[in-house]
Structure 1
Amino acid sequence: MKANDLRVVKTKKAIYQALTHLLKDKLLTDIKVSELCREASINRGTFYFHYEEVGDVFKEFFEEVIRDLQESYKEPYKHISAVQLKNSAYKNLDPKTVRIFHHVKKFEDFYRIILSDNVSTAYYYMFFDAIRTNFIEDSKIGIYDESKKFVYSYMTNAIIGLIIEWHRNNFDESVDDMNIHLVETLNVLK
């Protein structure tokens, strides 16, 4: 079966949703395959056709979320030339083109879980590494400087800090407001 087969897509989406629902009340290590199958309305054979264990589902789902995050991060830079970006950093960044907070809203249930008080800090570091990687990949257009690695870690935490504060406020602020907060923060940090 191909990964883009509609049946596979629907099955995996049901499994991801079931896992997200179960993670609201349980640690990943406490979730059993049978419980996940019941929640997703699939049989164990279907589960084992795609995965070996529950942790594999989380890993795959996390990777999907991170791919979407990376695409969201890069979206505003599609409209700015490398020269403009290098010379003026974030001055030309239009808040309307920022997509990170659209991404967070799209995966709000997932972020509620990984930012909750009762999960491992491993989630935070995985999230941190994914965002920081985007800063490192910017080196392809001449921005990344090894001597500034601590600055990029600081900037990464600034972005995550905005997301954490949004989470603490129950995601009440609009995506547009968060985009403005991000651009203002990046311009202060530059």
Structure 2
Amino acid sequence: MKKNDLRVIKTKKAIYQALTHILKDKPLTDIKVSELCREASINRGTFYFHYEEVDDVFKEFFKEVIVDLEESYKAPYKHISAHQLINSAYKNLDPKTVRIFHHVKKYEDFYRIILSENVSTTYYYMFFDAIRSNFIQDSKIGKYDESKKYVYSYMTNAIIGLIIEWHRNNFEESVDDMNIHLVETLKVLT
């Protein structure tokens, strides 16, 4: 079966949704394949055709979310030259072009889970590394400075901190408000 087969896409989407639903009430380590199959309305054979264990589903879904996160992160910089990106992109960022909080809102249920106490911190660090790698990629357009690795970590935690605070406020602020908070934060940090 091809990866772009509509049946595969629908099956995986059902499995992701089922996992997300179960994770609201139960830690990942406690979820059984049979429970996930019941929730997704699939049989065990279908599950094992695609995955070996429940953790594999979470990892695959996480990777899908991270790809979307990276695209959202890069959206404001599509029309900026390398020189501008290195020298002033963060300071001159227009909140209307920021897409990262649109991404978080799109995957709100997922973020509620990875920022909850029911999931291993392993996934938090995977999230951290995904955001941090974008800062590092931006720096590689120019000359990468190893001494700035702590700056990239600091900036990454600033973004994650905004997302965590938004989560603590039950995602009540609008995406536009969050974009403004991010731009203001980046101006202070850069």
Same fold (TM over 0.5): yes
Q: CA deviation at 1:132?
A: 0.5
Q: CA deviation at 1:91?
A: 2.3
Deviations, residues 22-47 of structure 1 (Å, cap 9, x unaligned): 11111111111110000000011111
For the 8 Å contact 1:76–1:93, the answer to whether it is kept is yes
Q: CA deviation at 1:119?
A: 2.7
For the 8 Å contact 2:65–2:107, the answer to whether it is kept is yes
Unaligned runs of 5+ in 1: none
Q: CA deviation at 1:79?
A: 1.9
Determine whether 1:40 maps to 2:40. Answer: yes
Q: CA deviation at 1:121?
A: 1.7
Q: Which residue of 2 aligns with 1:168?
A: 168
Distance 1:96 1:10 in 2: 33
Q: CA deviation at 1:176?
A: 0.6
Q: Which residue of 2 aligns with 1:179?
A: 179
Distance 1:159 1:143 in 2: 23
Deviations, residues 129-158 of structure 1 (Å, cap 9, x unaligned): 111011111133116421111011000000
Q: Which residue of 1 aligns with 2:100?
A: 100
| TM-score, normalised via structure 2 length | 0.97
Q: Which residue of 1 aligns with 2:10?
A: 10
Map 1:118-137 to 2 at 5 A: 118-137=118-137
Q: CA deviation at 1:92?
A: 2.3
Distance 1:119 1:16 in 2: 15
Q: CA deviation at 1:109?
A: 0.3
Distance 2:60 2:2 in 1: 16
Q: Which residue of 2 aligns with 1:141?
A: 141
Distance 2:100 2:121 in 1: 21
Q: Which residue of 1 aligns with 2:113?
A: 113
Deviations, residues 97-144 of structure 1 (Å, cap 9, x unaligned): 111000000000000001113332222111111110111111331164
Q: Which residue of 2 aligns with 1:150?
A: 150
Q: What is the identity percentage for the equivalent residue pairs of Structure 1 and Structure 2?
A: 89
Q: Which residue of 2 aligns with 1:84?
A: 84
Unaligned runs of 5+ in 2: none
Q: Which residue of 2 aligns with 1:64?
A: 64
Structure 1 letter corresponding to 2:84: Q
Q: CA deviation at 1:13?
A: 0.2
Distance 1:91 1:132 in 2: 18
Structure 1 letter corresponding to 2:68: D
Distance 2:143 2:161 in 1: 23
Structure 2 letter corresponding to 1:9: I
Distance 1:164 1:144 in 2: 29
Distance 1:170 1:82 in 2: 37
